Amino acid sequence: MEKRMKIEIRNASFQDCEALCEIHVSAIRGLCKSHYSKEDIDAWSRNRIPEQYEKHIRERQVVIAQHRSIPVGFGTLDLTKGEIVQLYVRPGYARKGVGKQILEQLLSIARASGLREVHCKSSLNAQAFYANAGFESGQKCKHRLRNGGELDCIPMKKRLE
- What is the arithmetic mean of pLDDT over 47-61? 94
Query: Does position 3 have pLDDT exceeding 80, yes or no?
Result: no
Is position 80 within any domain? yes
Global pTM value: 0.94
Q: Range of 40's domain?
A: 8-115
CA-nearest of 100, 109, 90 to 19 is 90
CA dihedral 23, 28, 32, 38 (to 10 degrees): -150
- Position 18 in a domain: yes
In a domain? residue 144: no
Structural domain includes residue 132: no
The closest of 59, 63, 86 to 146, measured between CA atoms, is 86
48 belongs to a structural domain? yes
Q: What is the pLDDT of residues 67-87, one digit of tens each?
A: 999 999 999 999 999 999 999
pLDDT of residue 6: 84
The residue among 59 and 4 whose pLDDT is bigger is: 59
Residue 55 counted as domain residue: yes
CATH of the domain at 56: 3.40.630.30
pLDDT for the residue numbered 4: 67
**Considering the domain boundaries, does residue 128 fall inside one?**
no
Q: What is the total count of domains within the chain?
A: 1
Give the dihedral of Cα atoms 78, 79, 82, 88; nearest 10 deg: 40
Asked, for residue 147, whether it belongs to a domain, the answer is: no
Q: What digits encode the pLDDT tens for the residues 97-154?
A: 999 999 999 999 999 999 999 999 999 999 999 999 999 999 999 998 877 789 999 9
State residue 5's pLDDT score: 73
